[in-house]
Amino acid sequence: MMDKLLKFITCGSVDDGKSTLIGHMLYAAKLIFADQEKALILDSKVGSRGGEIDYSLLLDGLVAEREQGITIDVAYRYFTTEKRSFIVADTPGHEQYTRNMAVGASFADLAVILVDASKGIQIQTRRHARICALMGIRHFVFAVNKMDLVGYELDIFKKIEKELNELAADLELNDVKIIPVSATEGDNVNKPSDNMSWYDGEALLTYLENVDVSDCDAEEGFVMPVQRVCRPDSEYRGFQGQIESGNISVGDSVKILPGGEEAIVSSIYVMDEEKNTAHAGQPVSIALDRETDVSRGCVFVKGTMPEVSRLFRAIILWMDDEPLIQGKNYIAMIGTKEIPATVNQIKYRIDVNSGEHLSATTLEKNELAECEIALSEKIVLDTFVKHRALGELVLVDRVTNMTSACGTILHSMRRSDNLTWHTMDITREVRAGQMNQTPYTLWFTGLSGSGKSTLANALEKALHMEGRHTMLLDGDNIRMGLNNNLGFEEADRIENIRRIAEVSKLMNDAGLIVLSSFISPFLADRRRAKQIIGEESFIEIYVSTPMEECERRDVKGLYKKARAGEIPNFTGVSSPYEAPENPDIVIDTSKVSVEESVRIILDYLKKGRGNK
């Protein structure tokens, strides 16, 4: 019996017979319980096969799946033959469930991709093959299914085989097996078919029992991302995580990244047992011979050197219903690290059908692309082909917590290694002390016409009279100068706010009090501005004047033009405004005068946020 557990995925276009194939394999190999067999026979009587056994019912567990005859969720099954143990993920074929398929692919060593012999290769077949390759799967079986529907014709199989070989060459797939099968009739599923005497290869199950996927584990050196620091008492401090590659022994010297400190392993626990050695795949708690600065997201290494970087290129699969827009901020999950990240640029989108590289500034759901991604600080990462655990990437939407994308790291960007933050002798504190004030940014947000600029201007006058050193940044003024190359599409608005936040921070570093007056309609952009400027320096003022009052004022005549369709993407009319969730100050200028509004803000500042 082969020692290696085989984890594989079945995928392909909708209705290609994925669930039926695995169901027939389990049924014919007598790998189901007697009560499952009876239930299967009963359920099949009301199925879509006229009373014949519907093997897909063994995998399709949801009521919606059985009613529609499709797979929606990923179905995992564990089974064992005399030669090998298996875990199979049966994944959906519909395009809207591509994210479910990607989840299944992320765990697999081998992919069984089905192709309907009566239809040939479909777009979803190509998409799934590309996603499997993206997820690091190196072993592929293309099962040309429903050969019974085409009379078991060799010519039809040969035509599809030629197209599959071309696809494999395009994707640079190294280990590819193509097998003609009939999932419903059992041809070449568990044993060779009498109906296809022209095929002299192995049946699918036989091939899976014998295929060698040991190269999937071949990674350089010892790598263990730290998940948790364990300190049950004052005597023990252990660092817990799963060993992703290599092995470790008591007495070994390990390097701790990203800092680069070295220490000696003093003890190893696997579960609750103390061991001298541990190897890849085991969860461990490692203690070191001296105190070191280690936290979640650090990585222990030996015999290898992953990269430490904050800028890299990656291939990603976009899975969010909302499109990806350049410049938008997400949470990146790499190894055990969670960190703010920005998609700086979409280098190109990949046509799933042809593989062609296409120019793009946004990505829609289920599209693939190569992107340049920047992190808020340097972390430990690596190329996916070198260290899988450090080269896998997930992007999470900061607002909705939606898993927006998954992908793999291609390489770090060298220019990030050439950038170093220089600490100046004349610091922010020195400049602020000379001005006798605490620098901060007052961020005014609200609809056009709400009174932001009027209020900011009046407040600056009041601060100036108190001897404060200020700078007022106004939306129109910035648009006419620094940001005159930006439009009003969502991507441009995101970049507009990012630049303003960076300028505000620089002015705060110069010791100035900054008043930024911008519509800034999106929650995520204001969160990002707060992150750039610094939470302790960011004061959000929501000018909450109602839409009706703003439109009644219509000082610039913009609402009238927007209603007439002359101004696209106008906030409040054709583009949304997302009100702040927890602003520091809320002022409705339709109810409070400018003078009273200024007093409210000054009182707030004097109570603790701002002036010395």
Query: What are the catalytic residues?
Result: 520
* CA dist., res. 435 & res. 362, Å (int): 45
DSSP tally for the chain: helices H, then strands E? 17, 30
* CA dist., res. 188 & res. 200, Å (int): 10
E strands, 243-288, are 247-249, 253-257, 261-270, 273-275, 277-279, 283-288
* CA dist., res. 300 & res. 239, Å (int): 9
Task: Please state the length of the chain.
Answer: 612
Mind spelling out the 3-state secondary structure of 354-366? CCCEECCCEECCC
What residues form DSSP beta bridges with 369? 316, 349
Token readout for 70 is 């499709």
Q: Which region holds residue 30: left if phi is over 0, alpha if psi is between -120 and 50, else beta? A: left
Measure Cα distances from 265 to 110, 238, 239, 392 in Å: 35, 10, 11, 27
Place of tokens 């002390």: 433
Of the candidates 221, 265, 215, the residue with the CA atom closest to the CA atom of residue 246: 221
For the CA atoms of the chain, what is the radius of gyration? 30
What residues form DSSP beta bridges with 86? 6, 79
What is the edge-to-edge ordering of all strands in the sheet holding 75-80?
75-80, 85-90, 6-12, 110-116, 139-145, 175-180
Contact at 8 Å (CB) between 54 and 48?
yes
| Identity of the residue numbered 157 | F
Contact at 8 Å (CB) between 436 and 430?
no
Output the furthest CA–CA distance in the chain (Å, rounded).
Answer: 96
HSE-CB at 396 with a 13 A cutoff on CA atoms is: 12
**DSSP helix/strand/coil, 1:** coil
DSSP string, 73-90: S-EEEEEE-SS-EEEEEE
**DSSP helix/strand/coil, 34:** helix
DSSP string, 317-329: EE--SSPEETT-E
Residues 533-561, buried b or exposed e (16+ Cβ, 10 A)?
beeebbbbbbbbbeeebbbebeeeebbee
HSE-CB at 177 with a 13 A cutoff on CA atoms is: 22
Of the candidates 196, 200, 204, the residue with the CA atom closest to the CA atom of residue 152: 196
Of the candidates 166, 77, 155, the residue with the CA atom closest to the CA atom of residue 121: 166
